[in-house]
Structure 1
Amino acid sequence: MNCKTFALRSLVVFCAVVTVLGCSSNSKLPEATIHPSLTSDINDYRYLIGPGDSVNIFVWRNPELSGSFSVRPDGMITTKLIEDIEVTGRTPTQLARELEEKLSVYINNPRVSVTIGGYVGPFSEQVRVIGEATNPKAVNYKENMTLLDLMISVGGITEFASGNNTQLIRTVDGRQEAYRIFIDDLIRDGDISKNVDILPGDIIIIPEAWF
Protein backbone atom coordinates (compact mmCIF):
# COMPACT_ATOMS: atom_id res chain seq x y z
CA MET A 1 0.00 0.00 0.00
CA ASN A 2 1.50 3.36 -1.00
CA CYS A 3 1.39 6.46 1.17
CA LYS A 4 -1.35 8.12 -0.88
CA THR A 5 -3.71 5.12 -0.54
CA PHE A 6 -2.99 4.83 3.19
CA ALA A 7 -3.69 8.52 3.73
CA LEU A 8 -6.96 8.27 1.79
CA ARG A 9 -8.15 5.30 3.83
CA SER A 10 -7.18 7.06 7.08
CA LEU A 11 -9.20 10.09 6.01
CA VAL A 12 -12.25 7.91 5.27
CA VAL A 13 -11.99 6.23 8.69
CA PHE A 14 -11.58 9.61 10.42
CA CYS A 15 -14.65 11.03 8.67
CA ALA A 16 -16.68 7.98 9.63
CA VAL A 17 -15.69 8.34 13.30
CA VAL A 18 -16.52 12.05 13.28
CA THR A 19 -19.91 11.30 11.72
CA VAL A 20 -20.74 8.69 14.38
CA LEU A 21 -19.66 11.00 17.19
CA GLY A 22 -21.65 13.83 15.69
CA CYS A 23 -24.76 11.70 15.59
CA SER A 24 -24.16 10.53 19.15
CA SER A 25 -23.81 14.08 20.45
CA ASN A 26 -27.32 14.85 19.21
CA SER A 27 -28.77 12.05 21.31
CA LYS A 28 -30.09 12.90 24.75
CA LEU A 29 -30.08 10.50 27.65
CA PRO A 30 -33.29 10.40 29.71
CA GLU A 31 -33.15 12.32 32.97
CA ALA A 32 -32.91 10.37 36.21
CA THR A 33 -36.27 9.60 37.75
CA ILE A 34 -36.82 11.29 41.10
CA HIS A 35 -38.02 8.90 43.78
CA PRO A 36 -38.91 11.18 46.69
CA SER A 37 -38.84 9.83 50.21
CA LEU A 38 -42.12 9.33 52.04
CA THR A 39 -40.61 11.25 54.97
CA SER A 40 -41.20 15.00 54.72
CA ASP A 41 -41.10 15.69 58.46
CA ILE A 42 -38.21 14.85 60.80
CA ASN A 43 -40.76 13.68 63.40
CA ASP A 44 -42.57 11.32 61.04
CA TYR A 45 -39.80 8.97 59.93
CA ARG A 46 -40.66 5.37 59.08
CA TYR A 47 -38.07 2.86 57.96
CA LEU A 48 -38.66 1.51 54.44
CA ILE A 49 -37.42 -1.85 53.19
CA GLY A 50 -34.78 -1.82 50.46
CA PRO A 51 -32.58 -4.13 48.36
CA GLY A 52 -30.03 -5.93 50.50
CA ASP A 53 -32.24 -6.04 53.57
CA SER A 54 -33.09 -9.32 55.23
CA VAL A 55 -36.84 -9.73 55.73
CA ASN A 56 -37.79 -12.03 58.59
CA ILE A 57 -41.36 -13.28 58.17
CA PHE A 58 -43.22 -15.09 60.96
CA VAL A 59 -46.57 -16.69 60.14
CA TRP A 60 -48.39 -17.65 63.34
CA ARG A 61 -49.04 -21.41 63.65
CA ASN A 62 -47.40 -21.96 60.25
CA PRO A 63 -43.66 -22.35 60.91
CA GLU A 64 -43.20 -23.99 57.51
CA LEU A 65 -44.15 -20.65 55.89
CA SER A 66 -41.90 -18.58 58.15
CA GLY A 67 -38.29 -17.74 57.41
CA SER A 68 -35.69 -15.13 56.51
CA PHE A 69 -35.60 -13.84 52.93
CA SER A 70 -33.11 -11.50 51.24
CA VAL A 71 -34.45 -8.59 49.20
CA ARG A 72 -33.10 -8.88 45.67
CA PRO A 73 -31.70 -5.93 43.66
CA ASP A 74 -35.08 -5.69 41.89
CA GLY A 75 -36.77 -5.06 45.24
CA MET A 76 -38.56 -8.40 45.44
CA ILE A 77 -38.46 -11.54 47.57
CA THR A 78 -39.68 -15.07 46.96
CA THR A 79 -41.24 -16.73 50.02
CA LYS A 80 -42.04 -20.38 50.54
CA LEU A 81 -45.55 -19.93 49.15
CA ILE A 82 -45.64 -16.59 47.34
CA GLU A 83 -43.35 -15.89 44.40
CA ASP A 84 -41.91 -12.50 43.50
CA ILE A 85 -43.62 -10.12 45.87
CA GLU A 86 -42.32 -6.54 45.75
CA VAL A 87 -41.24 -5.32 49.17
CA THR A 88 -38.94 -2.33 48.60
CA GLY A 89 -40.38 1.01 49.67
CA ARG A 90 -42.78 -0.61 52.15
CA THR A 91 -42.73 -0.47 55.93
CA PRO A 92 -42.57 -3.82 57.76
CA THR A 93 -46.17 -3.34 58.91
CA GLN A 94 -47.39 -2.65 55.36
CA LEU A 95 -45.65 -5.78 54.12
CA ALA A 96 -47.13 -7.88 56.93
CA ARG A 97 -50.68 -6.80 56.02
CA GLU A 98 -50.04 -7.49 52.31
CA LEU A 99 -48.70 -10.95 53.08
CA GLU A 100 -51.77 -11.70 55.21
CA GLU A 101 -53.99 -10.80 52.27
CA LYS A 102 -52.06 -13.01 49.85
CA LEU A 103 -51.77 -15.93 52.27
CA SER A 104 -55.51 -15.86 53.00
CA VAL A 105 -55.97 -17.61 49.65
CA TYR A 106 -54.17 -20.66 51.07
CA ILE A 107 -54.73 -20.62 54.83
CA ASN A 108 -57.52 -19.46 57.10
CA ASN A 109 -57.11 -16.12 58.86
CA PRO A 110 -53.30 -15.80 58.63
CA ARG A 111 -51.40 -13.66 61.15
CA VAL A 112 -48.06 -12.31 59.97
CA SER A 113 -45.33 -10.25 61.58
CA VAL A 114 -42.28 -8.85 59.78
CA THR A 115 -38.94 -7.74 61.17
CA ILE A 116 -35.93 -6.43 59.27
CA GLY A 117 -32.21 -7.16 59.40
CA GLY A 118 -29.39 -5.43 57.57
CA TYR A 119 -31.01 -1.99 57.47
CA VAL A 120 -29.84 -0.92 54.04
CA GLY A 121 -33.10 0.65 52.87
CA PRO A 122 -34.00 1.87 49.36
CA PHE A 123 -31.73 4.23 47.42
CA SER A 124 -34.36 6.97 47.68
CA GLU A 125 -33.76 7.10 51.45
CA GLN A 126 -29.97 7.46 51.31
CA VAL A 127 -28.33 10.83 51.94
CA ARG A 128 -25.61 11.65 49.39
CA VAL A 129 -22.61 13.88 50.07
CA ILE A 130 -20.51 14.94 47.07
CA GLY A 131 -17.79 17.46 46.35
CA GLU A 132 -15.19 18.58 48.89
CA ALA A 133 -16.04 16.14 51.66
CA THR A 134 -13.16 14.14 53.11
CA ASN A 135 -14.95 10.92 52.20
CA PRO A 136 -17.83 11.65 49.76
CA LYS A 137 -20.38 8.86 49.85
CA ALA A 138 -24.01 7.81 50.22
CA VAL A 139 -25.02 7.42 53.86
CA ASN A 140 -27.91 5.29 55.10
CA TYR A 141 -30.39 7.59 56.81
CA LYS A 142 -31.01 7.25 60.54
CA GLU A 143 -33.84 8.76 62.54
CA ASN A 144 -33.24 12.35 63.68
CA MET A 145 -30.04 12.67 61.61
CA THR A 146 -28.60 16.18 61.54
CA LEU A 147 -25.99 17.93 59.40
CA LEU A 148 -23.41 17.45 62.16
CA ASP A 149 -24.09 13.69 62.23
CA LEU A 150 -23.66 13.59 58.47
CA MET A 151 -20.37 15.49 58.56
CA ILE A 152 -19.02 13.04 61.13
CA SER A 153 -20.02 10.16 58.81
CA VAL A 154 -18.04 11.60 55.88
CA GLY A 155 -15.06 12.78 57.93
CA GLY A 156 -15.77 16.50 57.61
CA ILE A 157 -14.66 18.68 54.70
CA THR A 158 -11.34 19.18 52.94
CA GLU A 159 -9.08 22.20 53.32
CA PHE A 160 -10.17 23.29 49.83
CA ALA A 161 -13.89 23.31 50.63
CA SER A 162 -16.10 26.38 50.61
CA GLY A 163 -18.28 25.03 53.39
CA ASN A 164 -20.49 28.09 53.79
CA ASN A 165 -21.54 27.88 50.14
CA THR A 166 -22.76 24.30 50.42
CA GLN A 167 -26.07 23.44 48.75
CA LEU A 168 -28.63 21.07 50.23
CA ILE A 169 -30.90 19.64 47.51
CA ARG A 170 -34.23 18.33 48.80
CA THR A 171 -37.30 17.04 47.00
CA VAL A 172 -40.36 18.99 48.14
CA ASP A 173 -43.76 18.20 46.64
CA GLY A 174 -42.11 16.41 43.72
CA ARG A 175 -39.70 19.27 42.93
CA GLN A 176 -36.04 19.61 43.83
CA GLU A 177 -35.35 22.69 45.94
CA ALA A 178 -31.91 24.09 46.84
CA TYR A 179 -31.00 25.52 50.25
CA ARG A 180 -27.75 27.12 51.39
CA ILE A 181 -26.16 25.61 54.49
CA PHE A 182 -23.14 26.80 56.48
CA ILE A 183 -20.76 23.94 57.19
CA ASP A 184 -17.73 26.15 57.95
CA ASP A 185 -19.64 27.98 60.67
CA LEU A 186 -20.84 24.67 62.08
CA ILE A 187 -17.71 22.53 62.23
CA ARG A 188 -14.87 25.07 62.07
CA ASP A 189 -16.36 27.83 64.22
CA GLY A 190 -18.53 25.62 66.42
CA ASP A 191 -21.72 27.57 65.68
CA ILE A 192 -24.28 24.94 66.62
CA SER A 193 -27.11 27.20 65.41
CA LYS A 194 -26.04 26.22 61.87
CA ASN A 195 -26.87 22.58 62.52
CA VAL A 196 -29.96 21.56 60.54
CA ASP A 197 -32.13 18.48 60.27
CA ILE A 198 -31.43 16.08 57.43
CA LEU A 199 -34.20 14.16 55.70
CA PRO A 200 -34.03 10.92 53.70
CA GLY A 201 -33.03 11.54 50.08
CA ASP A 202 -31.19 14.81 50.75
CA ILE A 203 -28.15 15.63 48.57
CA ILE A 204 -25.31 17.75 49.97
CA ILE A 205 -23.05 19.46 47.39
CA ILE A 206 -19.87 20.95 48.87
CA PRO A 207 -18.07 23.25 46.38
CA GLU A 208 -14.37 24.03 46.14
CA ALA A 209 -13.26 27.43 47.37
CA TRP A 210 -11.90 29.99 44.90
CA PHE A 211 -8.58 31.32 46.12
Structure 2
Amino acid sequence: MAALGVLLAAAPVVRAQTPAGTPVPAPTAAVAGSDDPVGAGDKVVLRVWREPTWSDAYPVDATGFATLPRIGPMHVAGLAPRALRDSVRARLAVYLREPVVDVIVLRRVAVLGAVRKPDVLFVEPVSTVRDLIAQAGGIDEEGDPNRIEIVRDGERVRLGRWNDIQSTVAPVRSGDQIVVGRKGWFARNALAAVSSAAVAVSVLVSAFRR
Protein backbone atom coordinates (compact mmCIF):
# COMPACT_ATOMS: atom_id res chain seq x y z
CA MET A 1 0.00 0.00 0.00
CA ALA A 2 2.93 2.35 0.62
CA ALA A 3 3.67 2.27 -3.13
CA LEU A 4 0.24 3.72 -3.78
CA GLY A 5 0.66 6.74 -1.48
CA VAL A 6 1.21 10.21 -2.83
CA LEU A 7 4.87 10.91 -3.53
CA LEU A 8 5.16 14.65 -3.20
CA ALA A 9 8.36 16.30 -4.27
CA ALA A 10 9.22 19.49 -2.40
CA ALA A 11 10.46 21.79 -5.12
CA PRO A 12 12.43 24.96 -4.50
CA VAL A 13 10.79 28.30 -5.21
CA VAL A 14 12.18 29.86 -8.35
CA ARG A 15 12.58 33.62 -8.71
CA ALA A 16 13.65 35.45 -11.81
CA GLN A 17 14.61 39.04 -12.49
CA THR A 18 13.27 41.30 -15.21
CA PRO A 19 15.82 43.32 -17.19
CA ALA A 20 15.09 46.25 -14.87
CA GLY A 21 15.92 44.10 -11.86
CA THR A 22 12.37 43.90 -10.51
CA PRO A 23 11.57 40.49 -9.02
CA VAL A 24 8.82 38.60 -10.82
CA PRO A 25 6.34 36.34 -9.01
CA ALA A 26 7.43 32.74 -8.69
CA PRO A 27 4.98 29.88 -9.20
CA THR A 28 3.38 28.56 -6.04
CA ALA A 29 5.04 25.22 -6.74
CA ALA A 30 7.75 24.70 -9.31
CA VAL A 31 6.75 21.10 -9.75
CA ALA A 32 3.55 19.52 -8.47
CA GLY A 33 3.26 15.81 -8.00
CA SER A 34 5.62 12.90 -7.74
CA ASP A 35 9.13 12.35 -9.02
CA ASP A 36 8.03 9.37 -11.10
CA PRO A 37 9.44 9.80 -14.61
CA VAL A 38 7.36 11.02 -17.50
CA GLY A 39 5.89 8.21 -19.58
CA ALA A 40 4.39 7.80 -23.03
CA GLY A 41 0.74 8.82 -22.95
CA ASP A 42 1.24 11.48 -20.28
CA LYS A 43 0.62 15.16 -20.84
CA VAL A 44 3.14 17.85 -19.95
CA VAL A 45 1.55 21.07 -18.73
CA LEU A 46 3.98 23.89 -19.38
CA ARG A 47 3.49 27.35 -17.89
CA VAL A 48 5.91 30.10 -18.82
CA TRP A 49 5.48 33.37 -16.94
CA ARG A 50 4.38 36.25 -19.21
CA GLU A 51 4.26 33.89 -22.23
CA PRO A 52 0.63 32.68 -22.41
CA THR A 53 1.00 31.40 -25.98
CA TRP A 54 3.71 29.03 -24.79
CA SER A 55 1.64 27.75 -21.88
CA ASP A 56 -0.46 24.70 -22.65
CA ALA A 57 -0.73 20.92 -22.21
CA TYR A 58 1.47 18.93 -24.59
CA PRO A 59 0.92 15.17 -25.12
CA VAL A 60 3.79 12.71 -24.92
CA ASP A 61 3.65 10.40 -27.92
CA ALA A 62 4.38 6.68 -28.08
CA THR A 63 8.07 7.34 -28.74
CA GLY A 64 8.40 9.53 -25.65
CA PHE A 65 8.56 12.89 -27.46
CA ALA A 66 6.56 16.05 -26.72
CA THR A 67 6.58 19.01 -29.08
CA LEU A 68 7.17 22.09 -26.92
CA PRO A 69 7.03 25.77 -27.94
CA ARG A 70 10.32 27.24 -29.16
CA ILE A 71 11.99 23.92 -28.38
CA GLY A 72 10.29 21.61 -30.83
CA PRO A 73 10.25 17.81 -30.41
CA MET A 74 11.94 16.92 -27.14
CA HIS A 75 12.41 13.46 -25.69
CA VAL A 76 10.82 13.77 -22.26
CA ALA A 77 10.04 10.14 -21.37
CA GLY A 78 12.14 8.94 -18.48
CA LEU A 79 12.74 12.42 -17.05
CA ALA A 80 11.53 13.28 -13.56
CA PRO A 81 9.29 16.39 -13.56
CA ARG A 82 11.92 18.54 -11.85
CA ALA A 83 14.58 17.45 -14.32
CA LEU A 84 12.21 18.22 -17.18
CA ARG A 85 11.47 21.66 -15.75
CA ASP A 86 15.16 22.46 -15.46
CA SER A 87 15.87 21.27 -19.00
CA VAL A 88 12.98 23.31 -20.45
CA ARG A 89 14.05 26.37 -18.49
CA ALA A 90 17.63 26.07 -19.79
CA ARG A 91 16.46 25.78 -23.39
CA LEU A 92 14.04 28.69 -23.11
CA ALA A 93 16.83 30.85 -21.69
CA VAL A 94 17.92 31.31 -25.30
CA TYR A 95 14.76 33.37 -25.84
CA LEU A 96 14.02 34.77 -22.36
CA ARG A 97 16.18 36.22 -19.63
CA GLU A 98 15.95 33.92 -16.60
CA PRO A 99 12.59 32.40 -17.57
CA VAL A 100 10.17 31.36 -14.83
CA VAL A 101 8.87 27.93 -15.78
CA ASP A 102 6.34 25.66 -14.11
CA VAL A 103 5.93 22.04 -15.23
CA ILE A 104 3.20 19.63 -14.15
CA VAL A 105 2.97 16.12 -15.56
CA LEU A 106 -0.57 14.81 -15.92
CA ARG A 107 -0.77 11.07 -15.47
CA ARG A 108 -2.99 8.83 -17.62
CA VAL A 109 -5.29 6.87 -15.32
CA ALA A 110 -8.29 4.70 -16.22
CA VAL A 111 -11.38 4.51 -14.01
CA LEU A 112 -13.29 1.33 -14.78
CA GLY A 113 -15.97 -0.97 -13.43
CA ALA A 114 -19.15 0.11 -11.68
CA VAL A 115 -18.91 3.85 -12.29
CA ARG A 116 -21.32 5.98 -14.30
CA LYS A 117 -18.78 7.22 -16.86
CA PRO A 118 -15.82 4.83 -17.23
CA ASP A 119 -13.02 6.74 -18.91
CA VAL A 120 -9.31 7.42 -19.25
CA LEU A 121 -8.45 10.60 -17.36
CA PHE A 122 -5.42 12.88 -17.31
CA VAL A 123 -4.87 13.88 -13.72
CA GLU A 124 -2.33 15.48 -11.43
CA PRO A 125 -0.56 12.94 -9.21
CA VAL A 126 -2.10 14.57 -6.13
CA SER A 127 -5.61 13.59 -7.24
CA THR A 128 -7.15 11.10 -4.81
CA VAL A 129 -9.05 7.93 -5.58
CA ARG A 130 -12.24 9.68 -4.50
CA ASP A 131 -11.46 12.60 -6.84
CA LEU A 132 -11.05 10.28 -9.82
CA ILE A 133 -14.19 8.28 -9.09
CA ALA A 134 -16.09 11.57 -8.84
CA GLN A 135 -14.70 12.63 -12.25
CA ALA A 136 -16.01 9.34 -13.64
CA GLY A 137 -19.52 10.24 -12.48
CA GLY A 138 -19.38 8.44 -9.16
CA ILE A 139 -20.18 4.85 -8.26
CA ASP A 140 -23.32 3.55 -9.99
CA GLU A 141 -26.22 1.69 -8.42
CA GLU A 142 -24.55 -1.70 -8.81
CA GLY A 143 -21.17 -0.58 -7.49
CA ASP A 144 -19.75 -1.58 -4.14
CA PRO A 145 -17.71 1.23 -2.54
CA ASN A 146 -15.95 -1.37 -0.41
CA ARG A 147 -14.58 -3.22 -3.46
CA ILE A 148 -12.15 -0.78 -5.03
CA GLU A 149 -8.81 -1.88 -6.45
CA ILE A 150 -5.85 -0.26 -8.13
CA VAL A 151 -4.26 -2.30 -10.92
CA ARG A 152 -0.62 -1.43 -11.51
CA ASP A 153 1.78 -3.39 -13.72
CA GLY A 154 -0.67 -6.29 -13.74
CA GLU A 155 -0.88 -6.45 -9.94
CA ARG A 156 -4.19 -5.83 -8.18
CA VAL A 157 -4.15 -4.05 -4.84
CA ARG A 158 -7.36 -3.97 -2.81
CA LEU A 159 -7.92 -0.64 -1.10
CA GLY A 160 -10.34 -1.97 1.49
CA ARG A 161 -13.50 -0.40 2.84
CA TRP A 162 -14.60 2.97 1.45
CA ASN A 163 -14.50 4.72 4.83
CA ASP A 164 -10.97 3.44 5.41
CA ILE A 165 -9.58 4.79 2.13
CA GLN A 166 -7.49 7.76 3.17
CA SER A 167 -7.86 10.95 1.16
CA THR A 168 -4.09 10.89 0.53
CA VAL A 169 -4.22 7.65 -1.45
CA ALA A 170 -3.64 8.60 -5.07
CA PRO A 171 -2.57 6.88 -8.26
CA VAL A 172 0.61 8.64 -9.23
CA ARG A 173 1.76 6.49 -12.14
CA SER A 174 0.59 6.43 -15.71
CA GLY A 175 -1.24 3.29 -16.67
CA ASP A 176 -2.82 2.82 -13.25
CA GLN A 177 -6.39 1.54 -13.31
CA ILE A 178 -8.97 2.17 -10.62
CA VAL A 179 -11.56 -0.60 -10.72
CA VAL A 180 -14.81 -0.34 -8.77
CA GLY A 181 -16.29 -3.79 -8.18
CA ARG A 182 -19.97 -4.67 -8.26
CA LYS A 183 -22.10 -5.72 -5.35
CA GLY A 184 -22.86 -9.40 -4.93
CA TRP A 185 -25.88 -10.91 -6.67
CA PHE A 186 -28.07 -10.86 -3.58
CA ALA A 187 -27.22 -7.24 -2.79
CA ARG A 188 -28.02 -6.22 -6.36
CA ASN A 189 -31.23 -8.22 -6.45
CA ALA A 190 -32.33 -7.97 -2.82
CA LEU A 191 -35.61 -6.22 -3.59
CA ALA A 192 -36.50 -8.69 -6.32
CA ALA A 193 -35.53 -11.62 -4.08
CA VAL A 194 -37.64 -10.33 -1.20
CA SER A 195 -40.58 -9.71 -3.53
CA SER A 196 -40.29 -13.20 -4.98
CA ALA A 197 -40.09 -14.71 -1.50
CA ALA A 198 -43.16 -12.74 -0.43
CA VAL A 199 -45.08 -14.00 -3.45
CA ALA A 200 -44.00 -17.58 -2.74
CA VAL A 201 -45.08 -17.32 0.88
CA SER A 202 -48.41 -15.83 -0.17
CA VAL A 203 -49.00 -18.70 -2.60
CA LEU A 204 -48.14 -21.30 0.04
CA VAL A 205 -50.42 -19.68 2.61
CA SER A 206 -53.24 -19.59 0.11
CA ALA A 207 -52.65 -23.26 -0.75
CA PHE A 208 -52.76 -24.34 2.89
CA ARG A 209 -56.01 -22.44 3.45
CA ARG A 210 -57.81 -24.39 0.76
Whose strand proportion is higher, 1 or 2?
A: 2
Q: TM-score, normalised by structure 1?
A: 0.49
Q: TM-score, normalised by structure 2?
A: 0.49
